Amino acid sequence: MPGKLKVKIVAGRHLPVMDRASDLTDAFVEVKFGNTTFKTDVYLKSLNPQWNSEWFKFEVDDEDLQDEPLQITVLDHDTYSANDAIGKVYIDIDPLLYSEAATVISGWFPIYDTIHGIRGEINVVVKVDLFNDLNRFRQSSCGVKFFCTTSIPKCYRAVVIHGFVEELVVNEDPEYQWIDRIRTPRASNEARQRLISLMSGELQRKIGLKVLEMRGNAVVGYLQCFDLEGESGLVVRAIGTACTLDKLSSPAAFLPACNSPSKEMKESPFNEDPNPNPHSSGPSTPLKNQTYSFSPSKSYSRQSSSSDTDLSLTPKTGTGSGSAGKEGGPLKALLRQQTQSALEQREFPFLTLTAFPPGLLVHVGGVVSARSVKLLDRIHNPDEPETRDAWWAEIRQEIKSHAKALGCHAVVGYSESTSICEEVCILSASGTAAVLNPRFLQEGTVEGSLEQRIEENLPVGCGFCHIPYDELNMPFPAHLTYCYNCRKQKVPDVLFTTIDLPTDAVVVGKGCLIQARLCRLKKKAQAEANATAISNLLPFMEYEVHTQLMNKLKLKGMNALFGLRIQITVGENMLMGLASATGVYLAALPTPGGIQIAGKTPNDGSYEQHISHMQKKINDTIAKNKELYEINPPEVSEEIIGSPIPEPRQRSRLLRSQSESSDEVTELDLSHGKKDAFVLEIDDADAMEDVHSLLTDVPPPSGFYSCNTEIMPGINNWTSEIQMFTSVRVVRLSSLNLTNQALNKNFNGLCENLLKSLYFKLRSMTPCCLCHVNFTVSLPEDELIQVTVTAVAITFDKNQALQTTKAHAEKSLQRASADNEEMLQFPLELCSDSLPSHAFPAAKEHLESASSNSGTPAAQRAVTVEKASPMGDGNFRNRSAPPCASSTVGVVKMTPLSFIPGAKITKYLGIINMFFIRETTSLREEGGVSGFLHAFIAEVFAMVRAHVAALGGNAVVSYIMKQCVFMENPSKNQAQCLINVSGDAVVFVRESDLEVMSAQQPAVNCQPSCTGEVTT
Amino acid sequence: MTSELDIFVGNTTLIDEDVYRLWLDGYSVNDAVALRVRSGILEQTGATAGVLQSDTMDHYRTFHMLERLLHAPPKLLHQLIFQIPPSRQALLIERYYTFDEAFVREVLGKKLSKGTKKDLDDISTKTGITLKSCRRQFDNFKRVFKVVEEMRGSLVDNIQQHFLLSDRLARDYAAIVFFANNRFETGKKKLQYLSFGDFAFCAELMIQNWTLGAVDSQMDDMDVDLDKEFLQDLKELKVLVADKDLLDLHKSLVCTVLRGKLSVFSEMETNFKNLSRGLVNVAAKLTHNKDVRDLFVDLVEKFVEPCRSDHWPLSDVRLFLTQYSVSVHSLDGFRHQVLWDRYMGTLRGCLLRLYHD
């Protein structure tokens, strides 16, 4: 009997009126766990019942504790007929199962009904007593911590990063069971919610077991997804990175380490072996065409080429230690061996992390991706996971071989996704090929290796840009130069990655969100024919998305993309591609050339004029963008850099598609373009459209920046105001004359308008940056396009931004990266330490410290902006306060980022993973589709916040809305929506509060965490 | 391409004060968009009309969802669905319950019933306030009235506690509830010169001195209903004008003190008996509900108008009323000094407030 679950039902409030006659409710509560149910007494005639129940005790296996949710049902007692359900609360008790997280769940939970939404609240207290279990063959994995955060969580230290873990479970979808024909929509929705909750628990437990097997104690970058396959089943799958984490506990280590908003430790870039690599060249393997993946500059495809790639990369990975002097020769050799074995052992050397402990990331090769089209109705054994396992294994194998081809032994920033339409399913995986420092990847390495600082011979934050592949045996044609930063190693001319910008990277100017958008019509077809049609379209889509990205990057005057995410969505009659990434100018990479336009018929005068007009527009845009994003790299003369690697021809030419005849290439004159220029050939209306669409992207209004990465390159003085939001749009395409161009235009307009709306709505927060902008496209019906965006707006201090970026730019080329990091990571710390009077007006500090004494959470009042704002406390100061204005509801912040600006995360309380279904049969009465979904999303936020508050937390970090499936049937006045969200519940403390506290009690370490908590 | 669905949901609920005002003023989404366009917001922000339309719709939807909670403001504080900073919650509530002067003058003292609701159309036409806004304001009055009408304890405190209004606004609502409950006539033509503020001032004085709450703080309805016993007793004051000796004595006492101090002394002297009769008869009539309703009409007719026609300056009115009240203490034959002070203290305050052009 390894666990005892104890539940107490305290009270309810704001219950709905269930008895029309008395305008009251006779409520009671059923508490169910596994197969055991308890009931409270009926509290007669009240909308605010006080049950104050006894402790209901469930004695259960820890396996069940992990799998089962606690199910609380509130009902209205009816003497003569069946009791009516008011609603339910599902509580995931997983956070109570590991020692460092929450110890009790206690608070007000919204009572949720899938038909009526939230109907009042219920106050519940949950505790778990765990007994030690000595059974070696246990099926549970209690104690393994899960994090959605895709970096090593603050206040933890990575001892070992073990690697990739994945699991997948399948079940019949209750919505498609025969019984669904006779049960109510409510019963069906609840069956589904409960099943997914169970499956998530099971999945998490199984992944936990794998982690224990690997001798890890945590999963970082845990990403769980649902595939609603329809008839063939319901799949819940998850990937993550197994780690052994150590809690940072000593105050000395803890405080400075967690100061940084983005990273836990000061980073020391990895020492580069200054010697050029010995090359072991071999003939490159022939290209194969079944799979598609992207490299920094060209589309290519290739199978793993046996051992030669391994050979060529061995010296690099092996010598990757900066403390080479200390370790000496033999150890080095040993390390080299270990690396290979450590990585080779693993079936898939993938990490789901996007940001890394210092020194882990050595080189980045480029983006690798693979897609495959599958037919769901061909699964032999739909109830078993084998087929899907095999599918994913196949794709991962492909990714692995792509990485190998890039001279990389690992893939980082790895993610998987699906798009399903009827019986067709596209599986996608992508990541960034990389070379990693082996020291983190195995056990038994020198203790404290993470802390080891490498003082001597630091390359200035450019190491990761250096090519990991063999220059003479490049997997794709690329244009290499010597690194503009250290001048020792070769770098590509552009770099695409799926990871966050490494904190030590030297960046010129600011970054910006870059999107490529694409639609392709497809004939409606069945099964095999459909799959074939899609497969045939995919490479063209990928190619065009890539071309667009490249052009837009050039147009911005930038040379690298981070956080690249390409989503291909399949619908009945079209495919959509949406790629988002954050463009930056990396100082280590060469200055990008411009874009040249070339006409096809050079003798036509007016045409020529048109071309030159376009050319001028493009040049102007580039110049404007350079100014806007403050891209003014220092001039470097050619001699210093060394001549570029001689190449027979300029390879930077871009063709619209591969199918175009290649003989045109030679005709085209490149001489009029300057070096490195991209050439856009305008030979048909399509191409013209493309150029136009390039120019229609409007930059964000002044005061706004946007990116899809964690932090915005070039902005580093965040203030504490944050606003997370979700915006959803569904547009109906007119079915008349749908062409690819019209579609593209519509889609482009949709995305651009959405962004414009966001800028407008958040205008009172300026200067601010939209971070982690995450677009998701789905095609719910024939002519419907749904775009969902989740992001967070963070304010920053404009004046300081200017100062620091200047300082940063000046320093960046001379100083070692440690300093840069400080500039990047410790802006708030830095200013409050050295310039307290300047950075924070005394009054504000007073306000904040005062608020920590009173009952209200600090976060509620910590507003630094004077003017009215969406969060705006500013206005209120002059008003007379109504007597009862102090709310009892604590503020819970939500953010898709892994940190909270101006605050320190002191405790991780556990993972939040929630799935909700909402359905209505009175769509018009609820304000139409917009009213329905608006209310539902607000309710989802409320339920997430309530769960976090009940765990004792005051924020959710790494929040993500993984799914938002919306279906409507206006003629029947019906709609249904499924939403899946996840994130990490945390406790954070404002840095200003922390200073006050640490001044008072110098010895505190983790104690401050309690003071900032929410009172609920 | 038509937009089927377009929403924005923030973890912290966005409240745009300008749009909130337009919503409260009862404008439709399209009118609100037009008004916002006219305010020059497009030029300031570089947004398009489409963006503005979508933004306005979003805010309207949010307000619509919040309206249910605003009907019981403590719910807004305890609900979990919308995360709104306390300052914004207060703003939402305060603005929601704020009313238009023009509107309140139309319904002040009227029964807050369905019948009156039908008149809202006319009020809307007359005042230029949208019908929607009129409805909201009327419903607010009615809602507050219903909640506090039968409660014990201070009226202002009750309103503040149940509706979380600022002190100022709670006092205004107390006046509205008090007037509605006693059905004071405020709509007559001769009362048109009076503002809501004038009536609210009188209401406050009357609540403080003439209700049950003034003598016993543990009664139901203590601040809403006038003290019936007190009103009955007021008949006793009649002796002041019925007894000729008493009246003459009273007059001579007042005149002795005021001689040379009033610019309108002679007018006062000639009018004294009429004025005094007017004031005392008002008191004596208050036993009948119908006459209670006409209190303000009577005060204006019997006192304000005669003085105004003789061009009494306000300072003279003040001197006269003070002396008029005080002199009664020197009338040996008069036994109702306490009653007189309770009546005249309040009436003096009211009359001074009502005495203007």
The DSSP result for B78-89, as a single string, is: H-SSSB--HHHH
pLDDT for the residue numbered A868: 36
CB-CB contact of A310 with A409 (8 Å): yes
Q: For residue range A339-380, list pLDDT tens digits in order.
A: 555 555 567 889 999 998 888 888 888 899 999 999 988 887
Average pLDDT over residues A556-577: 92
Confidence of residue A689 (pLDDT cuts 50, 70, 90): low
Q: Are A857 and A1009 in contact (CB under 8 A)?
A: no
Of residues A98 and A623, which shows the higher confidence score? A623
pLDDT tens, A723-760?
A: 999 999 999 887 666 788 888 888 988 999 999 999 99
- pLDDT the model gives residue A897: 93
The H-or-E segment that residue B6 falls in is strand B2-10
Statement: residue B247 has pLDDT above 80: yes
Query: Residue A889 and residue B87: Cβ atoms within 8 Å?
Result: no
Q: What is the mean pLDDT of residues A943-970?
A: 92
Q: Which of A335-349, A372-386, B201-215, B337-351 is the least confident region?
A: A335-349
Question: Any chain A CB within 8 A of the CB of B40?
Answer: no
Q: Which residue of B has its CA nearest to A875?
A: B87
CA atoms within 13 A on the CB side of B271: 22
CA A837, A838, A840, A844 torsion-angle sign: positive
CA distance B146 to B173: 12
The structure tokens listed for B118 are 């039908």
Q: What DSSP assignment string belongs to A402-469? A: HHHHTT-SEEEEEEEEEEEETTEEEEEEEEEEEEE-GGGSSTTSPTTTTT----SS---S-GGGS--S
For A73, residues 6+ apart whose C-beta sits below 8 A from its C-beta are: A29, A30, A32, A85, A87, A88
Confidence check: pLDDT of A823 > 90: no
Contact B166/A at CB under 8 A: yes
Q: How far is B35 from chain A (nearest CA, A)?
A: 17
Q: Which two tokens stand for residue A443?
A: 């056990």
Q: Shortest CA distance to A226 belongs to which of A897, A964, A791, A775? A: A964
Distance CA A541, CA A549 (A): 12
In whole angstroms, give the CA distance from residue A94 to residue A67: 9
- What does the pLDDT average to over A931-939? 95
In chain B, residues with a C-beta closer than 8 Å to the C-beta of A731 are 1-4
Q: Please say whether the dihedral angle defined by the alpha carbons of residues A653, A656, A662 and A663, taken in this order, is positive or negative.
A: negative
Nearest beta carbon to residue A725 from set B8, B77, B88: B8
What pLDDT sits at residue A959?
95
Per the CB < 8 A criterion, the answer to whether B253 and B288 are in contact is no
**DSSP state letter for B213:** G
Measure the CA–CA gap between A596 and A612, rounded to whole angstroms: 10
Query: Cβ of A945 and B83 within 8 Å?
Result: yes
Q: Which of A826, A444, A901, A462 is nearest to A641 (CA)?
A: A462
Q: Name the average pLDDT for chain B.
A: 90
User: What backbone phi and psi angles, to 5 degrees, belong to A638?
Assistant: -55, -40
Phi-psi group of B109: left, alpha or beta (phi > 0 → left; psi -120 to 50 → alpha; rest → beta): left
The pLDDT assigned to A342 comes to 54
Instruction: Judge contact between A160 and A244, C-beta under 8 A.
Output: yes
The structure tokens listed for A459 are: 């390359």
The stretch A510-534 carries a mean pLDDT of: 89
Which of A511, A508, A817 minimizes the C-alpha distance to A636?
Answer: A508
Of A311-325, A452-466, A815-829, the least confident: A311-325
Q: Which of residues 53-72 of B touch A (CB under 8 A)?
A: 54-55, 57-58, 61-62, 64-65
Q: Is the peptide bond before A767 cis (omega within 30 degrees of 0)?
A: yes
Rounded Cα–Cα distance for residues A658 and A662 (Å): 8
Give the closest-approach CA distance of A860 to chain B in angstroms: 7
Residues of A in Cβ contact (< 8 Å) with B7: 727-729, 930, 933-934, 937
Strands A893-894 and A955-969, by their bridges, are parallel
Nearest to A933 among B7, B79, B87 (CB): B7
Q: Which two tokens stand for residue A817?
A: 């990266």
pLDDT tops 70 at residue A327 = no
Is A58:A93 a contact under the CB 8 Å cutoff?
no
Residue A33's DSSP bridge partners are A36
Average pLDDT over residues B232-242: 88
Contacts of A872 in chain B (CB under 8 A): 85, 87-88
Test mutation, B5, B45, B75, B96, chain A, max A CBs within 10 A: B5
What local confidence, expressed as pLDDT, does residue A589 receive? 87
Q: Which residue has the tokens 């030679």?
A: A666
Kindly list the residues from chain A whose CB atom is less than 8 angstroms away from the CB atom of residue B14: 723, 761, 870
Beta strand residue intervals within A768-899, DSSP E: 768-781, 784-796, 893-894
Average the pLDDT over each of A458-462, B1-5, B231-235 and give the range with the smallest value: A458-462
pLDDT, position B180 = 92
pLDDT at A992 over 80: no
Residue linked to tokens 């339409």: A421
B18 in A contact zone (CB under 8 Å): no
Residue type at position A952 = G
Tokens encoding B296: 């303000």
Higher-pLDDT residue of A423, B219:
A423
Q: Is the dihedral of CA B201, B205, B207, B211 positive or negative?
A: negative
The alpha carbon torsion through A588, A590, A591, A593 (nearest 10 deg) reads -150
Lowest mean pLDDT among A706-720, A799-813, A843-857, B15-29: A843-857
Distance from C-alpha of A424 to C-alpha of A479, rounded to nearest angstrom: 39
What lies within 8 Å, CB to CB, of B56 at 6+ separation is: B19, B22, B29, B32, B33, B36
B195/A contact by beta carbon, under 8 A = no
ipTM of the complex: 0.90
Q: With 70 as the cut, is the pLDDT of residue A883 above it? A: no
Query: What pTM, to 2 d.p., does this model score?
Result: 0.82
B93–A945 C-beta distance less than 8 A: no
- Give the CA distances from residue A13 to residues A120, A123, A363, A1014, in Å, rounded to whole numbers and listed in that order: 6, 8, 57, 20
Task: Answer yes or no: do B91 and A927 touch at CB < 8 A.
Answer: no
Q: Which two tokens stand for residue B35?
A: 């008004």
In whole angstroms, give the CA distance from residue A349 to residue B76: 51
3-state secondary structure of B342: helix
A647-656 pLDDT tens trace: 333 333 333 3
Q: How far is B352 from chain A (nearest CA, A)?
A: 29
Contacting residues for B7 by C-beta, under 8 A, at least 6 apart: A727, A728, A729, A930, A933, A934, A937, B58, B61
CA atoms within 13 A on the CB side of A976: 12
Give the pairing of strands A70-76 and A84-91: antiparallel
The three-class DSSP label of residue B243 is: coil
User: What is the number of helices (H) and of strands (E) in chain A?
Assistant: 21, 33
Among candidates B2, B55, B75 on the partner chain, residue whose Cβ is nearest the Cβ of A14: B75
What's the one-letter identity of residue B134? C
Looking up tokens 């990479």 gives A589
Closest in A13, A753, A879 to B90, CB measured: A879
Residues 6 or more apart whose CB falls under 8 angstroms from that of A8 comprise A53, A54, A55, A56, A124, A125, A126
Least CB–CB distance from A121: residue in B46, B64, B80: B80
Position A477 scores a pLDDT of 67
The structural domains of chain B, with segments of one domain joined by +, span 17-82, 101-214, 228-354
Q: How far is CA A767 from CA A390, A839, B43, in A?
A: 49, 16, 19
Assigned token pair, A759: 């800028």
Beta bridge partners of A371: A428
Lowest average pLDDT, out of A562-576, A651-665, A685-699, goes to: A651-665
Residues A948/A985, Cβ–Cβ less than 8 Å: yes
| Listed residue (A731, A688, A739, A780) closest to A520, CA to CA | A739
Which residues of chain B neighbour A884 with C-beta distances below 8 Å? 74, 77, 160-161, 164
A480 contacts A472 by C-beta, under 8 angstroms = no
Q: What distance in Å separates the CA atoms of residue A400 and residue B272, rounded to the nearest whole number?
A: 108
Average per-residue pLDDT for chain A: 74
Give the largest Cα separation in chain A, rounded: 94
DSSP assignment string, B99-140 = --HHHHHHHTTS--SHHHHHHHHHHHHHH---HHHHHHHHHH
Nearest CA in chain B to A856: B86
Question: What is the C-alpha separation between A390 and A969, in angstroms, rounded?
Answer: 37
Which residues on A lie below 8 Å from B160 (Cβ)?
A: 882-884
In angstroms, the CA A984 to CA A145 distance is 11
